[in-house]
A and B are shown apart, each in its own frame.
Chain A
Amino acid sequence: RKEVEQDPGPFNVPEGATVAFNCTYSNSASQSFFWYRQDCRKEPKLLMSVYSSGNEDGRFTAQLNRASQYISLLIRDSKLSDSATYLCVVIQRDYGNNRLAFGKGNQVVVIP
């Protein structure tokens, strides 16, 4: 089983609509969780951290469900510029070192 699993999509979203997607992780000892954004043929960039209590950054809301081992990202009032792949990133501690595990990403396409 992969450490981090994401449905690659694409998630086709009308402009102005809301889209949400999840990421599941296999290691219950995972410590920290993040969403990165990667535009087509560009490098990933940190979008936001994910806190246990859930957190918002403008139109973006991230949530963590430790019991079911998944995190989610919700985008409200989608803009054309939100079209990108959203990578789920999980930090695990192996043999005293922190290690990042990346998902394949959820591809979001915002349609005019």
Chain B
Amino acid sequence: EADIYQTPRYLVIGTGKKITLECSQTMGHDKMYWYQQDPGMELHLIHYSYGVNSTEKGDLSSESTVSRIRTEHFPLTLESARPSHTSQYLCASSPRALGTGELFFGEGSRLTVL
């Protein structure tokens, strides 16, 4: 089993609240990613990091922000949540360049904004 953890697993909050989704991995992977997935839809990359102090936006525009102060930790923050942010957020890491295609995913954080 991969050692990558996300909290909270489920979150229901009201509009306008600030939220942080936590992601930690104990595998020492340099590369970490955040994906967004709606039911029955494909995963979309919203943020990635290739190491400490490195963060980039992904393919899908997102109002969220990320930080990478420690190798093992890659939190995602929404300053003011809206119903359109309701989705599943999946954190992943990989030990090397993506050529191997292997990502280790956390169990996901399912966010509902009322």
A residues with a Cβ closer than 8 A to B are 4, 8, 31-34, 42-46, 49, 87, 89, 91, 98-100, 102-105
Of the residues A4, A43, A89, A103, contact of B101 by C-beta under 8 Å: A89
Question: Which 4 A-B pairs have CB atoms at the shortest separation, nearest pair first?
Answer: A43-B105, A98-B98, A34-B101, A102-B43
| Count of inter-chain pairs, beta carbons less than 8 A | 49
B residues with a Cβ closer than 8 A to A are 40-45, 59, 90, 97-103, 105-108
Chain B residues whose CB sits within 8 angstroms of the CB of A102 once the complex forms: 42-44
Chain B residues whose CB sits within 8 angstroms of the CB of A45 once the complex forms: 105
**A46→B41 CA distance, assembly (Å):** 18
* Seed contacts A43-B106, A87-B43, A100-B98; 17 additional CB < 8 Å A-B pairs: A4-B42, A33-B101, A34-B102, A43-B108, A44-B90, A44-B105, A46-B101, A49-B100, A98-B98, A99-B45, A99-B59, A99-B98, A100-B45, A102-B43, A102-B44, A104-B42, A105-B42
Interface of B is mostly: loop
User: What is the chain A residue whose CB lies nearest that of B90?
Assistant: A43
Chain A residues whose CB sits within 8 angstroms of the CB of B59 once the complex forms: 99
Of the residues B40, B43, B98, B108, contact of A91 by C-beta under 8 Å: B98
Chain B residues whose CB sits within 8 angstroms of the CB of A42 once the complex forms: 107-108
Interface of A is mostly: strand
**A44→B103 CA distance, assembly (Å):** 9
Chain B residues whose CB sits within 8 angstroms of the CB of A105 once the complex forms: 42
Known: A44-B43, A102-B43. A32 touches B108 (CB 8 A): no
**B99–A91 contact, CB under 8 A?**
yes
**A103–B42 contact, CB under 8 A?**
yes
Smallest beta-carbon distance A46→chain B, Å: 5
User: What is the chain A residue whose CB lies nearest that of B102?
Assistant: A46
**A103→B37 CA distance, assembly (Å):** 11
User: What is the chain B residue whose CB lies nearest that of A97?
Assistant: B98
**A87→B107 CA distance, assembly (Å):** 16
**A89→B59 CA distance, assembly (Å):** 15
Smallest beta-carbon distance B97→chain A, Å: 6
Of the residues A4, A43, A89, A104, contact of B41 by C-beta under 8 Å: A104
